[in-house]
Copies of this chain bind each other. A is one copy, B any other.
Amino acid sequence: MTTPTSDAAEMPLEAVVSKTFGRTVPESLSALVPALTSDLAEIDFVLDRSLTSTYPRLREAATYASRSGGKRVRPLLMAVAHRALGGTTPRPILALAASFQLIHTATLVHDDVIDHAEQRRGRPSVARAFGLPAAIVAGDYLFVRAFELAAEYPRSIILRCGEACADLAEGEILQETSRFDLTTGVERYYRVIEMKTAAIVSAALASVGEIAGMKPAIVDGLAQYGKAVGVAFQLRDDLLDMYGDPDLLGKPLFADLREGNPTLVTLEAYAHLTGGEKSEFERLFALHRKQPHDLLRLRELTDRTGAPERTAAAATAAADRAVKALSVLTPNPYVHLLELLARGAAERPF
């Protein structure tokens, strides 16, 4: 067996942080870089190894999906949190961080099947590259490997993983029932992103606290931090889908509009439009096949409502909540980095 390699393993931490959170590590925190770079490489090694077993056909699609995983938000946050709690070696969290990353990858693979997505991070999606059957099965396989990795932890951790996965699944269905419909409202939107995005980040961070033997207040603080970072990240994602740079994002803009997923931007725009513009916005949003001029018109109408600014403010507020949740931790440079990462989630350009 050749030694597995991956993008992240070859990339210095600064690059990973800036790629993930649009932040460079400030000079004052540069002493953290070697340890965290090594932590991420070790997590990637465990992750890759779990996929390189005796299943040649699955391995190809699963490894492809894993390499397209890209940002590695969860492993990075988990590694930093583990160090913030005094961890001196990543060993206790290696399998768990790999597990959460695999769960995330599995859901991306299945999401791309559901959304008929052609691209993921500048490459063809698994469904596109390997076909629908392989994509469904490879997603299942990634879930299975994730749970095998989690099996070395106490039952409470496995159940935490499981509930986060159930949240993800329920969030996906809730989102499905909101498609092409702006009247489902902001409250349901937040429920969708809390279940689809934030629950798994929250569970990942809380698990790190639990494994480090922290008292419930700390575990809960980490859970709150993870949830708020997840929300900030998703709000920023939604904004970028409408206003980002497609080359930086590695995918075309307007996926949410095309798929009819209401986001905070579109819901805020809809709430603030009136008269003929409101009904035009509603009609265009409900179109199942939108033309380029429909998409641009939706963005033009959105621009006038202040919705992008309010969404950015909501992302910043979520980052504020994340930072506040960290107040239960004893301050140290790693805690400070967690704060910066929360800010980065709300402000990143891609």
Is A144's CB under 8 angstroms from B158's CB?
Answer: no
A57-B147 contact, Cβ under 8 Å, with A114-B133, A133-B114, A152-B155: no
A159 contacts across to B, CB distance below 8 A? 148, 151
- Residue in B closest to A114 when the chains form the complex, CB atoms: B133
| Known A140-B139, A140-B143: A158·B151 in contact at CB below 8 Å | yes
A166 at the interface (CB under 8 A from B): yes
Answer whether residue A176 sits at the interface, using C-beta atoms and an 8 A cutoff: yes
Q: Which residues of B contact A58 (CB under 8 A)?
A: 166, 169-170, 173
- Report the minimum CB–CB distance from A165 to chain B (whole Å): 4
Which partner residue on chain B sits nearest A59 by CB separation?
B170
Interface of A is mostly: helix
- CA of A58 to CA of B136, assembled, Å: 18
Bound CA–CA A158/B155 (angstroms): 11
Residues from chain B with Cβ under 8 Å of A15 in the complex = none
- Whether A186 is near chain B, meaning CB under 8 Å from some CB there, is no
A interface, CB within 8 angstroms of B:
53, 55, 57-58, 61, 106-107, 110, 113-114, 131-134, 136-141, 143-145, 147-148, 151-152, 155, 158-159, 162, 165-166, 168-170, 172-174, 176-177
A166→B141 contact, CB < 8 A? yes
The distance from the CB of A162 to the nearest CB of chain B, in whole angstroms, is 4
Kindly identify which residue among B53, B138, B147, B174 contacts A158, using a CB–CB cutoff of 8 Å: B147
